[in-house]
Structure 1
Amino acid sequence: MSSAGVGPLCFIKSTVNAAVYLEIFMLLSADALYGEADFIFQQDLAPAHTAKSTKTYFNDHVITVLDWPANSPDLKPIENLWGISKRKMRDMRPNNAAELKVITDTSSSITPQQCHRLIGSMPCCSEAVIDGKGAQTKY
Structure 2
Amino acid sequence: MRDFIFQQDLAPAHAAKSTKDWFTKKQLEVLAWPANSPDLNVIENLWAIVKWKIRDRKPTTLDQLKQNISTAWEAVSAETCDKLVKSMPWRLQAVIQAKGAATKY
Q: TM-score, normalised by structure 2?
A: 0.79
For 1:93, the equivalent position in structure 2 comes to 58
What's the RMSD between the two structures over aligned residues?
A: 2.1
Which residue does the alignment assign to 1:59? 24
TM-score norm. by structure 1 comes to: 0.62
Computing the radius of gyration from Cα coordinates, the structure with the larger value is 2
The answer to whether the 8 Å contact 2:37/2:101 transfers is no
Distance in 2 between the 1:122 and 1:64 partners? 19
The sequence identity of aligned pairs, in percent, is 54
Equivalent in the alignment of 2:6: 41
- Runs of 4 or more off by more than 6 Å in structure 1? none
Matches within 5 A, 1:53-132: 53-101=18-66, 102-132=68-98
Unaligned runs of 5+ in 1: 1-36
- Structure showing greater relative contact order (alpha-carbon pairs closer than 8 Å, 6 or more residues apart): 1
Matched residue SS, 1:126: helix
Instruction: Please list the CA deviations of residues 31-71 of structure 1 after superposition, one character each: whole Å capped at 9, or x if unmatched.
Output: xxxxxx65321111122212222222212211111112334
Residue 136 of structure 1: how far off its partner (Å): 2.5
